[in-house]
């Protein structure tokens, strides 16, 4: 282990769960099979992305409810649920229900901001309140309060034969400590720390104080921990795109290399008005990827990862990638599989 690096304590992966619109069941089943494989390989966590009006998982909480009944140990997370599409009270009910069904394994990750293409979807999503909706941090705060047991109403008691609670039900002990914020800016990192959340970092950040991706991400990790009650012990998970090729076929290696090459130009400079910086995809042998990660300034300060699987690959590609991550890359980073 190179000087300054922490041994990797928790190894996870992230999938978007793509499906064919003509046969959506097959794609969802593939996602569940991948999560089952992750548990067999000893991964600590499996995370699913969230897509609306696209051919990817639109209901991650439902998918993870199914996964909770097909696995026994692996933690299940969302990375991330965009809260602009959600009612915080209703989401709190769903999250607590699935957490209880999973035996306390749910790790909900959320983000803020207006829904994508809001002008095109607002009439369907919020026909009466589109211009009044708040898509900022207040929406996360409401969700946190409901999950953590703060009153949702001033009424409780018995009315006729029915009993009412002033808190969201069910309540799942411990879920409030497993809430994650997906942030790519200093402001978001600080807010998450101040509100006692965990921090999900990804392969996208805002270029605010630098144009070096690793330096930017490191500044977010440090800003988050500086504001968090647990300081250096506050949990951060890194979500870079990682594709080991140790057991890949020649065809797979060519596909993976082409994929990374096509995406490389966007990593050289900030993109768009938001000045987004993208991390290069890490493709190569596990030894090569481990060396590059140990050179990554932010990676050296975290001990949890949820490596992102590329969006457009086939099921057999994901099997190969996950197997190499668990059997070769993880151990090269100091990780040991769960029993």
Q: Do 171 and 183 meet the contact criterion of CB atoms below 8 Å apart?
A: no
- For a pLDDT cut of 70, what percent of the chain falls above it? 99
Q: Model confidence at 5, in pLDDT bands (50, 70, 90)?
A: low
| pLDDT of 3 higher than 50 | no
What does the longest C-alpha to C-alpha distance in the chain come to? 70
pLDDT at 339: 79
Q: How far apart are CA 281 and CA 39, in angstroms?
A: 24
For the entire predicted model, the pTM comes to 0.96
Task: Answer whether CATH 3.20.20.30 is correct for domain 12-172.
Answer: yes
pLDDT at 265: 96
Average pLDDT estimate for 121-126: 98
**CATH number at 183-334:** 3.20.20.30
Where are the chain's structural domains?
12-172, 183-334
What DSSP state is assigned to residue 20? Answer: B
Q: How far apart are CA 277 and CA 13, in angstroms?
A: 21
Q: Which 3 state secondary structure label does DSSP give 337?
A: coil
- Same topology between domain 12-172 and domain 183-334: yes
Q: Which 3 state secondary structure label does DSSP give 49?
A: coil
Q: Do 180 and 80 meet the contact criterion of CB atoms below 8 Å apart?
A: yes
Q: How confident is the model over 235-258, as pLDDT tens digits?
A: 999 999 999 999 999 999 999 999
Q: How far apart are CA 187 and CA 238, in angstroms?
A: 18
What DSSP state is assigned to residue 325? Answer: I
Q: Do 74 and 105 meet the contact criterion of CB atoms below 8 Å apart?
A: yes
| pLDDT of 93 higher than 90 | yes
Structure tokens belonging to residue 309: 């699987």
The strand ranges marked E within the chain are 10-15, 45-48, 75-82, 106-111, 157-159, 162-164, 180-182, 198-202, 204-206, 236-239, 242-244, 276-278, 282-284, 304-308
Q: How far apart are CA 116 and CA 300, in angstroms?
A: 33
Q: Model confidence at 269, in pLDDT bands (50, 70, 90)?
A: very high
| pLDDT of 21 higher than 50 | yes
Structure tokens belonging to residue 247: 């057991």
| pLDDT of 126 higher than 50 | yes
- Measuring CA to CA, which residue among 202, 194, 197 is closest to residue 226? 194
């Amino acid at each position: 282990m190179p000087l300054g690096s922490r041994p990797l304590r928790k190894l996870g992966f992230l999938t978007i769960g793509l499906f064919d619109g003509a046969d959506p069941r097959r794609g969802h089943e593939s996602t569940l099979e991948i999560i089952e494989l992750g548990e067999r390989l000893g991964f600590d966590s499996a995370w699913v992305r969230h897509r609306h009006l696209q051919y990817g998982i639109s209901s991650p909480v439902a998918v993870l409810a199914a996964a909770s009944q097909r696995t026994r140990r692996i933690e299940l997370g969302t990375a991330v649920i965009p809260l602009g599409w959600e009612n915080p009270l209703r989401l709190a009910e769903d999250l607590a229900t699935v957490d209880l069904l999973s035996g306390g394994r749910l790790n909900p990750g959320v983000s803020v901001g207006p829904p994508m293409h809001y002008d095109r979807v607002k009439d369907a999503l919020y026909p009466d309140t589109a211009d009044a909706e708040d898509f900022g941090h207040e929406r996360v705060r409401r969700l946190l309060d409901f999950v953590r047991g703060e009153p949702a109403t001033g009424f409780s008691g018995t009315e006729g034969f029915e009993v009412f609670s002033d808190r969201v039900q069910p309540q799942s002990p411990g879920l409030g400590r497993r809430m994650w914020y997906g942030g790519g800016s200093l402001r978001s990192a600080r807010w998450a720390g101040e509100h006692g959340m965990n921090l999900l970092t990804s392969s996208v950040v805002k270029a605010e104080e630098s144009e070096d991706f690793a330096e930017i991400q490191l500044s977010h990790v440090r800003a988050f921990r500086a504001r968090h009650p647990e300081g250096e012990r506050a949990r951060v998970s890194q979500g870079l795109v990682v594709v080991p090729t140790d057991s890949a076929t020649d065809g797979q290696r060519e596909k993976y290399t082409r994929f990374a090459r096509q995406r490389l130009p966007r990593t050289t400079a900030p993109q768009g008005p938001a000045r987004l910086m993208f991390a290069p995809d890490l493709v190569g042998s596990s030894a090569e990827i481990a060396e590059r990660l140990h050179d990554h300034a932010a990676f050296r300060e975290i001990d949890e990862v949820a490596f992102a699987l590329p969006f457009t690959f086939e099921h057999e590609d994901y099997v190969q990638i996950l197997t190499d991550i668990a059997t070769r890359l993880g151990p090269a980073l100091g990780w040991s599989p769960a029993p």
